[in-house]
Chains A and B, each alone.
Chain A
Amino acid sequence: MTVFLLRRLMQAAVVVLAMSLLVFIGVYAIGDPVEILISPEADQIERERAIAALGLDLPLWQQYLVFLGKALQGDLGRSFVFNEPALQLILQRMPATLELAFGATFAALLIGLPLGLYAGLRPDSSVSKGIMATSILGFSLPTFWVGLMLIMVFAVQLGWLPSTGRGETAELFGLRWSFLTWDGLAHMVMPAINLALFKISLVIRLTRAGVRETMLMDYVKFARAKGLSPARVTFVHVFKNILIPVVTVVGLEFGGTIAFSVVTESIFAWPGMGKLIIDSINVLDRPVIVAYLMIIVLMFITINLVVDLTYSLLDPRVRLESKA
């Protein structure tokens, strides 16, 4: 287990290093922030002073080394725009994005698992066919369109739910969260559902496929031959087996959810990292872009590790192999 973790940490370090280089070069290629940041009226001397202050006069490789050295000390540069540490800027907005992504994942499991289970157990019923047809919509309707429709119906016409912002927040671990207040929760419902749409469909289809496959296994028939109740067969023997692929895929999807929250956050004016990165790209705020991408990379690595660990908890066969 320790060996496994150590090996994974070393792999992670290599990935982060490689990504930092790619991200740095990639961002450099996007465009010249000087054009945007420095007023056209500034004279040559002022320009050069500003460029030197931003560290943009050094050759690229030196800029990278400087960046790397500082990054190792937890300094990912200062935002050109806000003149605040980029990391701090992003971390401030991270809770909003995280709670939205968690909310969406939670909703996807809460809605997707029961529906998928039903559709898998009664594949020929018309309800199941309805569930499956609807799940195709979840895959194919564009997120922004569904988001706008949600706002139209539930905020504008029915007036049931608020459509913008995080609402009231409460503090936990020194960070502000919406899910701790009723008002905040109400604000979260629509963006979370919007973000969850794709995942709900995914969970439904994975669960259904898993149930149908598992039901045919000898061990399920043997469980029935032991005289167990249908509930025990379904919720212990079948369910534990389908959790393995569902947890894996939903877990790996989590990184994608955070990345995709860009669209949802823009529509619902949700002040998270997604909205920050869009604004930063617009003004070529390089340190923020780089810091954001690095954090996303770290997050993906962490998620993969957590998924692997959960996976080995669910599937005893994996546990032994990682020990060996």
Chain B
Amino acid sequence: MNDTAPTLEVRELRTHFFTRAGVVKAVDDVSFTVRRGKVLGLVGESGSGKTVTGFSIIGLVDPPGRIAGGQILFQGKDLASLSEAEMRHLRGNRIAMIFQDPMMTLNPVLRIDTQMIETVQAHAKVSREEARQRARDALGQVGIPSPDERLKSYPHQFSGGMRQRVAIAIALLHKPDLIIADEPTTALDVTIQGQILAEAQKLCAETGTALIWITHDLSVVAGLADDIAVMYAGKVVESGPVSQVLDAPLHPYTVGLIGSVPSRNRRGEPLRQIPGMTPSLLNLPEGCAFRSRCPRAEPNCAVPPPMPEYRPGRFARCIHPHLEEAVAA
């Protein structure tokens, strides 16, 4: 293992689904880096490929999907070079994922303790009793009251928010180096959400866990993340430090995204919506995929735009970025 290497480095990842209707390029050129103890916010509208990116990292893309290109380096090691057994050793142990839909994440016919103890014992040679102990501690950690009793329950006896906390507890069991959290707080109410966010931040700071936080919600990213990667139609269109990107976005899509969120600074102004619809991934237009909805589009946007580093650490996949505002910032 390499101490100086970032926890995760994704380079030009492409994950395609070879369906009967055609090739769905769900992830098509995604790059980002997450360092120890840092939080990356992965944002983008529905269908932009956030979840598929997460599954690609943890190695759970199922046919007809396949990683079609790029590299995923975990602590400097290319995950593509690992055998399935080695990959399984990482999963749930060094890399954990929290799924999007808490109602569907836990097996309905198995008790919570079964589902937690099996996770402990998959990666640690400990007794059942010891495993149960760890499971109980993990439940306590995510704020589930009377964890001893709750361990004996079935998933359907929990609310959606409680189930999501169980899933989070399972992800925390082995103090992983990387957690991929796929919209983990969407199902929770605001107070719990804040609690979980604080817990996540504490975990990263204390144990050096790197976190990828997938969400629609820019306000969550603003408060939690160090860096942000904005996805559109399978591509990262803008990335950089979160405060800089949110204060002075470069890409017209990011500008639109921020404009569509209510904000204290722009109180009284009408919310602006991005016109048009997300294009179908099956027949994307040649060139910039955002072209049909972009207010700054010009004829030369019909060639695929590169993703230059316009400012130090700040990338945007656009030929006509909002550089003026970025200067002002």
Interface residues of A (CB under 8 A from B): 217-229, 232, 236-237, 240-241, 244, 314-317, 320
Contacts and interface: CB of A to CB of B under 8 A. Distances in A.
8 contacts: A221-B99, A223-B115, A224-B60, A226-B119, A237-B110, A240-B110, A314-B109, A316-B156
Contacts of A315: 108-109
A225 B92 contact: yes
A316 B108 contact: yes
Interface string B85-103: 0001111110011010100
B60 A221 contact: yes
Contacts of B320: none
B118 interface: yes
Nearest to B88: A227
B88 A317 contact: no
A148 to B, nearest CB: 43
A222 B108 contact: no
Closest 10 CB pairs of A and B: A227-B92, A226-B92, A218-B104, A227-B91, A316-B154, A219-B107, A226-B119, A240-B109, A317-B156, A225-B97
Nearest to A214: B107
A191 B101 CA distance: 50
B101 A218 contact: yes
Main SS class of interface, A: helix
A226 B170 CA distance: 8
A228 B111 CA distance: 16
Contacts of A228: 88, 92, 118-119, 122
Contacts of B89: 227
A218 to B, nearest CB: 4
A223 B122 CA distance: 11
Nearest to A319: B154
A310 B111 CA distance: 17
A210 B253 CA distance: 43
A320 B108 CA distance: 13
A240 B250 CA distance: 51
A223 to B, nearest CB: 7
B21 to A, nearest CB: 18
B281 to A, nearest CB: 20
Nearest to B180: A225
B163 to A, nearest CB: 11
Contacts of A223: 107, 115
Given A224-B91, A225-B92, A320-B156, 18 more contacts: A217-B104, A219-B106, A219-B108, A223-B115, A225-B60, A225-B99, A226-B118, A226-B170, A227-B88, A227-B91, A227-B92, A227-B93, A227-B123, A236-B110, A240-B107, A315-B108, A316-B108, A316-B111
Contact of B105 (A219, A227, A232, A317): A219
Contact of B96 (A225, A229, A316): A225
B167 interface: yes
A199 B116 CA distance: 37
A217 B119 CA distance: 18
B58 interface: yes
A141 B119 CA distance: 47
Nearest to B104: A218
B105 A222 contact: yes
Nearest to A215: B62
A232 B118 contact: yes
Contacts of A244: 109
A225 B156 contact: no
A138 B154 CA distance: 38
